[in-house]
Amino acid sequence: MPAKSTPGQQPARRRSFSRTADGWVRARQAVQIAVLLLFIVLFIASHQGAWAGSLVNLPMRLDPLQMLATSLAGRTLARGALLALLTVLFTLVFGRAWCGWLCPLGTVLDWFPFRGQRTRRPEPPASWRRIKYALLFITLAAALLGNLTLLVLDPLAIFWRTLSTVIWPALDQVVTGAQALLYQVPFLGEPLVTLDMWLRPLIFPAAPLYYRDILFFSIFFILLVSANLLAPRFWCRYICPLGALLGLFSRLAIFRRELKGECKGCTLCTASCPTGTIDPAKNYASDPAECTMCLECLPACQRAQITFTPGFSLTPGQDYDPGRREALIAIGAAAAGVALFRSSLLAKREAPFLLRPPGAREANPDVVSLTRCTRCSECIRACPTGALQPALFDAGAEGFATPILVPRLGYCDYSCSACGQVCPTQAIPLLSLAEKRLQVIGKAYIYEDRCLAWSDHTPCVVCEEMCPLPEKAILLEETTVWSPDGAAVQIQLPHVVRERCIGCGICEYKCPVSGESAIRVYIPELEVPF
C-alpha cells in the first residue's frame, strides 16, 4: 500500500501542482498570442500578393463550418475542404481546444472579459446555449438550399472582415496622422521618410483605403465584444455556430476535464471558468461540448483535484442540447428564410451597376445565391486599389457581405489577379494574369450630359489615357462643335468600343467630374436605365 502523505507534504504538493497549472495556463496564452500573430501575418501577406494563396487562406480552409457549408451549397467537395478534417481530428482528441487555444476571435474576447460584471448581475440561463446549435442547423440547412448568408457569423470570417474593413484602415489613418505630426520635428523627417518607404508597402496600402460600410461592421464588432458584459465569452457560449459544430464533435473527445476525488464545493473553479460550463449540481463536472480546454480551472483548484485525462465515454446530452424537434424547427426556419431572401420583400434584383470580381459571374451563374462565397472578405483585403467592397444590402439580404466592385472607389488593376489567388473556395476562380485580362466585368458607358467634353466642350481625355488595354477600349474622335458665340471649335470626344471593353473601371475611377462619374461600368446582360 502506498504510504499516506503527511499534512506537511500536502501543501508542498499543492504548490507544485499550482506551479504546473500556472505554467499550462501561460503556455495556452502564449499559443493564443502566437496564433493571433500568425493570423495577422497571413492577413498582411494577403495584401502583398507575394505569398501563395493556398497559404494565405489556410485559416479559412481549416474552418470545418465554412468548408462543410460550402460543400453542401455547391453539391461537391469544396477545394481544400479536406484540410478542415485536421480541425475535426484535433477536436476529437482535445475537444473544443480550437476555441480556447487557436481561435483569434476567442483570443480577443479573452482580453475583454469584463469579469467584474459577473458579480453585479446573473448570467443568462444555460438554455441560451441552444441558440448557437439552432444557428448551426439553420446555417447548414440553408446551405443545402444554396444559401450561405449565415456564414457571416463564422468567427474567422468575422475577425478577418473586421481587420480588413475596420481595424487596418483605421490603423493606417492613425499611423499617417502620427507621421504628419512627427515630420514637423526637423531631425525626424528623413528617417521617417526612409521608414515609410520601407514599411508602408509591407503593411499598408500605397493610398488610404475607404470602405463604405465601415460604421456598420465597426458597431457589429463592438457589440460582439461588449456582449462580454453579460457573460465572459458570451459569443462563444451562446452564438458561435462554429463552436456549436466543434461542440458536437467534442462529445467524442479523448481528453476531457475530470475530478480525481470528491469536490468540497469551494466554487473557485466555477468562478474561474470563462464559459460557465462547470456545474455545481453535478459534482462540479463540466460538459466537454462547452469546455474550451482553457485550463483556467487548474490553478483555481486549491486541492489539486482537477485533471485532463483521456477517456472514451460518450457524454450524455445536457438540458440545453438541441433535440430532434429543435433540428426540425431549424431546418424549417432555414427553408423559410431562404424563401424570404428570394422573395420580393428582401431580395434585390441584380442591378445593372452591381459588379462582381473578375470571373466570379462565370464561376457562379446564379450570382444572387453565390453558392461558394463564404463572406470571409479575403478578396476584399487582397484588392490593392480598394475596388472590392463588402455589400451591405446592395445585392439584397442573400448577398450580404459578398464582394462587389465599386469603380468610383477603386478599379480592377489590369495586372492583378490577387482576389482569385486568395479565395479559399474559388468563388472567384483562380486565373492566370493572361486569363484574368480577358474576363469581362462589365462595359463602360459615357453619360454625355455629364461628360466635360460632350456637354461643356471642355477638353478632357482622361478616360482614353487611363484605359489600360493595348487596343484602347475608349477612342477619341475629332469633332467640330459650335461655341455659344457661334464659333466653330475642334474638340476630341470620347467613344467606348464596347467589343473591347472589359469593365476594369479605371475610367470611372479617374473621371474628374465631381460626384457621380460621367462614365460608368454596367453589366451588359441587364437592361440599363439610360
53 three-class SS:
helix
- State residue 314's pLDDT score: 55
- State residue 344's pLDDT score: 44
483 versus 385: which is more confidently predicted?
A: 385
Q: In this structure, what are the phi and psi dihedrals at residue 520, rounded to the nearest 5 degrees?
A: -130, 150
- State residue 508's pLDDT score: 97
- State residue 339's pLDDT score: 57
- State residue 393's pLDDT score: 81
At which residue does the C-alpha cell 458536437 appear? 248
CA–CA distance, 222 with 237 (Å, rounded to integer): 17
- For residues 350 and 126, the answer to whether their CB atoms sit within 8 Å is no
Query: Average pLDDT, stretch 88-93?
Result: 96
175 versus 79: which is more confidently predicted?
A: 175
At which residue does the C-alpha cell 431562404 appear? 338
Per-residue buried b or exposed e for 2-34, using 16+ beta carbons within 10 Å of the residue's own CB:
eeeeeeeeeeeeeeebbeebeeebeebeeebee
Q: How confident is the model at residue 263 (pLDDT cuts 50, 70, 90)?
A: confident
Residue 45 scores a pLDDT above 90: no
- For residues 350 and 395, the answer to whether their CB atoms sit within 8 Å is yes
- State residue 173's pLDDT score: 87
* % the chain with pLDDT above 70: 83
- State residue 118's pLDDT score: 47
Model-level pTM greater than 0.85?
yes
CA dihedral over 258, 264, 270, 272, signed as positive or negative: negative
Q: Read off the pLDDT of residues 351-370 as tens digits, 9 standing for 90 and up.
A: 788 899 998 875 554 444 46
Q: How confident is the model at residue 10 (pLDDT cuts 50, 70, 90)?
A: low
Of 111-120, 195-204, 284-293, 471-480, the least confident: 111-120
Q: In the structure grid, which three cell numbers stand for residue 232, read together?
A: 465572459
Q: What does the DSSP assignment read for 447-506?
A: -TTT-IIIII-----HHHHH--SSS-SEEEEEEEEE-TTS-EEEEEEEEE-TTT-----H
